[in-house]
Amino acid sequence: MDGNAQGHLLTNLSLPTVPVSHPVLTLSPPRAQALEGRRVTLHCEARRGSPPILYQFYHGDVLLRGRSAHTAGGASFSITLTAESSGKYSCTADNGFGPQRSDTRSLSVTVPASRPILTLRVPGTRAVVGDVMELHCEVHKGSPPILYRFYHDDVLLGSRWPPSGRGTSFNLPLTPEHSGSYACEADNGLGAQRSDTASLRVTVPASRPVLTLRVPGTQAVVGDVMELHCEAHRGSPPILYRFYHDDVFLGSSSAPSGGRASFNLSLTPEHSGSYACEADNGLGAQRSDTASLRVTVPASRPVLTLRVPGTQAVVGDVMELHCEAHRGSPPILYRFYHDDVFLGSSSAPSGGRASFNLSLTPEHSGSYACEADNGLGAQRSEVVPLNVTVPASRPILTLRAPGDQAFPGDVMELHCEAHRGSPPILYRFYHDNVILGSSSVPSGGGASFNLSLTAEHTGNYSCEADNGLGAQCSETVTLSISGLTGSRLGPVATGVAGGLLGMGGLAVVALLLYCRLPRKAGRTSDPSRNPSNSDPQEPTYYNVPGWIELQPVYSNVNPKGGDVVYSEVRRIQEGNKHAVASDSALRLLWTYLPSHGPIASPQPYSAQGSSVIYSQTKGHAVHAQKGLEYVPSPWPGAWHTCQLGIHGIRKQKREEVPGLGLVLPPPELCKALACTAFKFLSRRHFCREVSSGQATKLRAPSPAPRHAGPYATAHCPFAGFQLAML
Which tens digits make up the pLDDT trace of 254-307?
998 878 899 999 999 999 999 999 999 988 999 999 999 989 999 999 999 999
| 8 is a domain residue | no
Residue type, 79: I
For residue 677, with 0-12 CB atoms within 10 Å meaning exposed, 13-18 middle and 19 or more buried, which class applies?
A: buried
658: helix, strand or coil: coil
Q: Are residues 718 and 596 in the same domain?
A: yes
Residues 534, 665, single domain; the answer is yes
Q: How far lies 477's CA from each of 347, 556, 669, 714, in Å?
A: 57, 13, 16, 22
Q: Do 247 and 162 fall within a single domain?
A: no
Asked if 127 and 200 touch (Cβ cutoff 8 Å), the reply is yes
In a domain, 2, yes or no: no
330 and 425 assigned to the same domain: no
User: 694 exposed, middle or buried (CB, 10 Å; 0-12, 13-18, 19+)?
Assistant: exposed
Indicate if 288 and 309 belong to the same structural domain. Answer: no
Could you give the CA distance from residue 173 to residue 134 in angstroms, rounded to a whole number? Answer: 9
Q: Are 403 and 472 in a shared domain?
A: yes
Q: How many CB atoms lie within 10 A of CB 491?
A: 12
What lies within 8 Å, CB to CB, of 459 at 6+ separation is 431, 432, 478, 479, 672
Q: What is the pLDDT of residues 471-504, one digit of tens each?
A: 999 999 999 887 654 333 343 333 333 333 333 3
Structural domain containing residue 56: 17-110
* 17 within 8 A of 50, measured Cβ to Cβ: yes
On whether residue 546 sits in a domain, the answer given is yes
Q: Is the pLDDT of residue 318 over 80?
A: yes
pLDDT digits (tens, 9 = 90+) for 558-574: 443 443 333 333 333 34
Of the candidates 124, 110, 113, 93, the one whose C-alpha atom is nearest the C-alpha of residue 22 is: 93
Cβ–Cβ under 8 Å, residues 516 and 667: no
Distance CA 536, CA 726 (A): 9
DSSP 237: S
Question: In the prediction, which pLDDT does 33 show?
Answer: 62
pLDDT band at 118 (very low <50, low <70, confident <90, very high): very high
Residue 167 lies in a domain: yes
Instruction: Give SS3 for 495.
Output: helix
Q: Residues 339, 345, 350, 353: is their CA dihedral positive or negative?
A: negative
- Looking only at the bridges linking them, the beta strands covering 564-566 and 649-652 are parallel
Q: Are residues 30 and 65 part of one domain?
A: yes
- Does 54 share its domain with 130? no
Residue 9 within any structural domain of the chain: no
Which residues, 6 or more positions from 502, have their beta carbon under 8 angstroms from its beta carbon? none
What's the domain count of the chain?
6
Reported as type and span, the H/E element at residue 148 is strand 147-152
* Domain end point (choices 240, 273, 293): 293
Last residue of a domain, one of 293, 323, 358: 293
Is the CB of residue 652 less than 8 Å from the CB of residue 568? no
Q: What is the pTM of this model?
A: 0.46
Quick one: 402 and 523 in the same domain? Answer: no
- DSSP strand E in 30-70: where? 34-35, 39-45, 53-59, 62-69
pLDDT reported for residue 723 = 53
- One-letter amino acid at 323 equals C
Is residue 531 a contact partner of residue 570, using CB atoms and an 8 Å limit? yes
Q: What gap in Å lies between CA 561 and CA 691, rounded to an integer?
A: 41
| Pair 526, 633 in one domain | yes
Closest CA relative to residue 463, chosen from 402, 410, 414, 393? 414
Which of 70, 26, 77 is closest to 49 using CA atoms? 70
Of 122-126, 412-416, 430-434, 553-557, minimum mean pLDDT range: 553-557
Q: In whole angstroms, give the CA distance from residue 138 to residue 115.
A: 8
Residue 592 placed within a domain: yes
In the predicted model, is pLDDT for residue 395 greater than 90? yes
**Is residue 7 assigned to a domain?**
no
What is the domain-level CATH number for residue 194? 2.60.40.10
Classify residue 433: in a domain, yes or no: yes
How does the average pLDDT of the chain come out, rounded? 73
Identify the domain boundary among 354, 386, 418: 386
pLDDT of residue 28: 86
Question: Does residue 553 share a domain with residue 474?
Answer: no
Least confident of 204-213, 330-339, 558-567, 583-592: 583-592
- Do 147 and 183 lie in a common domain? yes
Q: What is the pLDDT of residue 31?
A: 57
